[in-house]
Amino acid sequence: MSYKIYLYDTETDCIGSGNLSSVYIQTQLEAAAGDDVEVHISSVGGSAFDAIAIYDLFKKYPGKVTTYIDALAASAASVVAMGGRKVIMSKYALLMIHKPMVGTGGNADELLKDVQMLNVVQERLAQIYMDKSGLDGITVNSMINSVTWMTADQALDLGFIDQIEDYQTEITNSAY
């Protein structure tokens, strides 16, 4: 039986805070003690840096990590999803990637430093997507630059996920 972790946004938490922070995920993985882990994701995203830290935690974890995109893995949550050895997406879910963002202020020199930092962060995020999908840098960066929303079928065709989770509802007639 697998240890389950749920990364579902709340009214106050998203990737990088509360039960969706890298510190919390580290404690959950320690509690899993090497057992296989299922990570269920439904998140609009959050901190790119925490997402990369969680991705790294999953990749270094000794047990098998399977990530499930249950409804939405957008922005930083898409990076977290890529950390699974196997990535499974609900046929109803969406995956979204885009350029990293920062809320900033300051003079021209400070803003230029932020632009340079954002470009470096995008390079790192693009590499994670390239490593998972096998797509080239030009294709991935084009997807990032244009804000790309993917259905499960599109994500599978592009190599971002490994499997689509399909639910077959059993229909019964109560008259019998």
Q: Quick one: three-class SS letters along 54-116?
A: HHHHHHHCCCCEEEEEEEEEECHHHHHHCCCCEEEEECCCEEEECCCCCCCCCCHHHHHHHHH
CA trace torsion 141, 41, 81, 23 (10° rounding): 110
Task: Determine phi and psi for 71, rounding to 5 degrees.
Answer: -140, -50
Residue 86 contacts residue 100 (beta carbons within 8 Å): no
- Positions marked catalytic: 75, 98
Report d(CA 32, CA 2) in Å as an integer: 9
Nearest alpha-carbon partner for 8 in 56, 71, 51: 71
